[in-house]
Amino acid sequence: MIYTVTLNPSIDYVMEVANYQSGMTNRAGKAIAYPGGKGINVIRILMANGIEATALGFLGGYTGEFISRTLDGLGLKTKFTPIADTTRINVKLKGQSETEINAPGPVVTMAEWEGFKQVFHQLTPADIVIFSGSAPSSLPVGAYDELIALVLEKQARFVIDTTGDDLQRALPAKPILVKPNRDEVQALFNLADTSMPSLQAAGRQLIDAGAQNAIISLGGDGALLFTAEHTYFARPIVGQVKNSVGAGDSMIGGFVASWATSADVVAAFSLGVASATATTFSDDIATPAKIKEIQNNVEVVEI
C-alpha cells in the first residue's frame, strides 16, 4: 500500500484578482476553495494515474470536514487522525503573478500525535510512505525523524518532500525520492547562484548524502533528475499556464505512480513531469486525460 502523509493539510482558497494592488481594497473575479496540502495533492495524482493509496494526516474543525467530504466525494481512501483544533486555510492570489500565503497550521496535542503514530505500527515491508509539506509548529521538532524511524523499523520505504533541516536530516535514511525546487535547493545548500553547474553539484550532494533519486524542479524551465550514476534533464514544455499550485506535488505523485509498478526511473521521471505539467496547464489538480495528452510532449535527455 502507498500512504501519503499530510501533517498540515489546508483548504487552498484561490482568488483571482486581475489587477491586485497591495494596500488597497481588491475584488476577486472568482474565488474557489480546493482541498490542499502537499500529500493531498499527491494522492489525487496517484489516483489520476490509476494507483490506489491511503491519505494520512490530521484534520479538524469545519475546514477539516470540508476536506474530508471533498476527498470522499472524489473516491479517495483516507484515514486522517481527528484533532480538536481547526485545519488551516491557505490563500492563493492569482493576479499578474501568483502570491501564496500559507498559514502556520493548527495545534496538534501530544495525545493526537501519539494516536497518529499508531497507524505506523501497521506498516509492512511492501509499503511506501510519502511525506509531504510542512509540519504544524505545535508538533515536536524532529516529528519527521520519529516517523521515518517508524517506517524503517518496519522495513518499509519512503519519499520525502519537505525543506530545510527536516529534509537534510532525512537524507541518510535513504529516501526513494526527494524533490526540492530551485529556491529550496538554493536555501538548503546556501548556493551562491542557481546556474546549471551549481544545481548539478547540489543534486549530486543530495545523492551522496543518501537519497536514492533526487529531482530538482525548475518551474517553467523543466526539471533535473539525479540517480546514483546518471543525470537527466526534462526539457520545459510550453503551454498555457493556469495554475502552479500543486505542480511539485503532482511531480511526486506521477513519479511514484510509475515507480511503484516498474523500476524504470526514467519512465517514473517522465510521468512525474507529465503530471506536473498537466496540473500547471489546468485550473485544479490534473485529470487522467490531461496527463495522457501531455505525456507525448515529455522529452528527457541524459546530460
Ligand X SMILES: O=P(O)(O)OC[C@H]1O[C@](O)(COP(=O)(O)O)[C@@H](O)[C@@H]1O
Catalytic hit among 12, 127, 161, 249: 249
Q: Is the dihedral of CA 27, 31, 35, 38 positive or negative?
A: negative
Contact status: 184 vs ligand X (CB under 6 A): no
Q: Is residue 90 part of the contact set for ligand X (CB under 6 A)?
A: yes
Compare residues 154 and 287 and give the one whose CB is closer to ligand X. Answer: 287
Side chain identity at residue 20, one-letter code: Y
| 12 near ligand X (CB under 6 A) | yes
Please name the residue that has the C-alpha cell 509548529.
137
Burial of 190 (0-12, 13-18, 19+ CB in 10 A): exposed
8 touching ligand X, by CB under 6 A: yes
**Hey, which bits of the chain come out as E strands?**
2-6, 10-16, 30-36, 53-59, 77-78, 81-82, 88-94, 98-101, 128-132, 157-161, 214-217, 223-226, 231-234, 300-302
Residue 135's alpha-carbon distances to 38, 61, 103, 128, 178, in angstroms, are 11, 18, 11, 19, 17
State which residue, 51 or 152, has the beta carbon closest to ligand X.
51
Which residues are near ligand ADP by CB under 6 A? 181, 217-220, 222-223, 236-237, 241, 244, 247-248, 251, 273, 276-277, 280
182: which 3 cell numbers? 530551485
**Shortest distance (Å) from residue 184 CB to ligand ADP:** 8
Q: Yes or no: say if 35 and 60 are a contact pair by the CB < 8 Å rule.
A: no
127 included as an active-site residue: no
**By CB under 6 A, residue 59 contacts ligand X:** no
Contact between 106 and ligand X by CB under 6 A: the answer reads: no
Which residue, 68 or 275, has its beta carbon nearer to ligand ADP?
A: 275
Q: Which stretch binds ligand X (CB under 6 A): 5-13, 117-125, 182-190, 203-211?
A: 5-13
Give the residue among 47, 66, 84, 64 at the shortest CA–CA distance from 6: 64
- Taking CB under 6 A as the criterion, which residues in 244-303 touch ligand X? 245-249
Strand, helix or coil at 152? helix
Mode of pairing for the β-strands spanning 98-101 and 88-94: antiparallel
64 is a site residue for ligand X (CB under 6 A): no
Stretch that binds ligand X, among 13-21, 47-55, 111-119, 243-251 (CB under 6 A): 243-251
Closer CB to ligand X, residue 30 or residue 230?
30
Residue 136 vs 248, nearer CB to ligand ADP:
248
Does position 70 interact with ligand X (CB under 6 A)? The reply is no
Among 102, 194, 212, 231, binds ligand X (CB under 6 A): 102
Alpha helices in 100-181 (DSSP H): 110-118, 143-153, 164-170
Q: Tell whether the torsion through CA atoms of 92, 46, 68 and 181 is positive or negative.
A: negative
Judged by CB under 6 A, the stretch of 32-40, 50-58, 136-144, 193-201 that binds ligand X is 32-40
> Which CB sits closer to ligand ADP, 25 or 97?
97
For residue 226, the one-letter residue type is F
Q: Are 79 and 54 in contact (CB under 8 A)?
A: yes
Instruction: Name the minimum Å distance from CB 197 to ligand X.
Output: 25
Catalytic residues, by residue number, are: 249
Q: Which residues are near ligand X by CB under 6 A?
A: 8, 10, 12, 36-38, 41, 90, 102, 133-134, 245-249
